Amino acid sequence: MSDLELKPEQQRAADRVRELSRPAADPAFRERLRLDFGNGRVGSRRELRFGVSRRPAWRWALAPALAVAVTVTATALNRAPGWVVAASLGDGTITVDGRPVSARNYAEVARLIRPGVRIRTPEGVVLRLASAGLGMMEITPGSDVTLPAVPGRWFARTVQAEVQGGIARFSTAPVFRGASLSIQTPEAQIEVTGTTFAVLSMPVGTCVCVLEGRLEVGERGSPMTTVGPGARHEIFNTGQAAMDDHMLPPQVQPLTELRNETMRTMGAAK
């Protein structure tokens, strides 16, 4: 429509627009236009790109859930077989985290045992436990032991146990290779990477007897000593100096039997 056809108020608006100053071209735009003239790109179609993913929004929404699913799956696959009751010898009442259970009630004992539980055996009762992920352990009469976890298949390969009193015997399975077991007594710290041995927590201190393999033992917070096959190391709480000697003869036969049972059911100990 021409100016002659404009209504008065439209004409006034048009006049005001004409009075506005002409905006100057942006220098960067001028330079880009000059280059486009030179290379013949003026008038060509150009795609405007932004740094934004073209993935659908629902994929981003699923990312946290997928991360959780992967973590849960990896954790489940890493979990090695837990502890089972291999044998319960004798008649009496075992306590598991303070809960009494008959030593002959295998099903209930099996239901209660899990990593971290504190097991106390009465006089006359021997409890033998097994795990394909660690090996076998034997808790003798009158003992107080906190059960270790089973090392994971690929990660979480370090586990801890406690022997507060009595005697606990261990024989590791081949799958334990590359894992480590840390055992604490009131006086000592024991580091195991694969062996057959006994830990004796006595009123006067701690003794470790090694049938095969090697382990490290020392007072808590002190340098460790290596104990090899057929040897023992004793740490006293009476002020007496630590002592090294041949393993205690009464431990030879039960440790040999435990090793043989581990080898028979899980392969040679490492």
Task: Map residue 50 onto helix, strand or coil.
Answer: coil
And the tokens for 110?
A: 């099996």
The pLDDT value recorded for residue 51 is 53
The pLDDT value recorded for residue 27 is 66
Residue 258 is given by DSSP the state H
The span from the CA of 217 to the CA of 231, in Å, is: 12
What band does 1 get if pLDDT is binned at 50, 70 and 90? very low
- Beta pairing, strands 158-172 & 180-184: parallel
Sorted by sequence, the CB contacts under 8 Å of residue 60 that are 6+ apart come out as 53
The span from the CA of 229 to the CA of 220, in Å, is: 23
- The total number of residues shown for the chain amounts to 270
The residues that bridge with 189 in the sheet, in sequence order, are 184, 218
63-84 residue pLDDT tens: 565 555 544 454 454 455 688 8
The span from the CA of 31 to the CA of 57, in Å, is: 38
Mean pLDDT for 236-259 is 95
Question: Which residue has better confidence, 194 or 154?
Answer: 194
The pLDDT value recorded for residue 265 is 86
pTM score, two decimals?
Answer: 0.70
The span from the CA of 219 to the CA of 187, in Å, is: 6
The pLDDT value recorded for residue 266 is 83
The residue type at 229:
P
What integer best gives the mean pLDDT of the chain? 81
Checking if the pLDDT of 231 tops 80, the result is yes
Residue that is written with structure tokens 């062996």 in the block: 195
The pLDDT value recorded for residue 22 is 55
Alpha-carbon torsion angle 132, 206, 200, 134, nearest 10? 0
And the tokens for 106?
A: 């295998």
**What number of other Cβ atoms are within 10 A of residue 55's Cβ?**
9
Q: Where are the domains of the chain?
A: 76-266
CATH number assigned to the domain covering 76-266: 2.60.120.1440
105-161 residue pLDDT tens: 988 998 999 889 999 999 999 999 998 888 999 999 999 999 998 886 554 678 999
Checking if the pLDDT of 204 tops 70, the result is yes
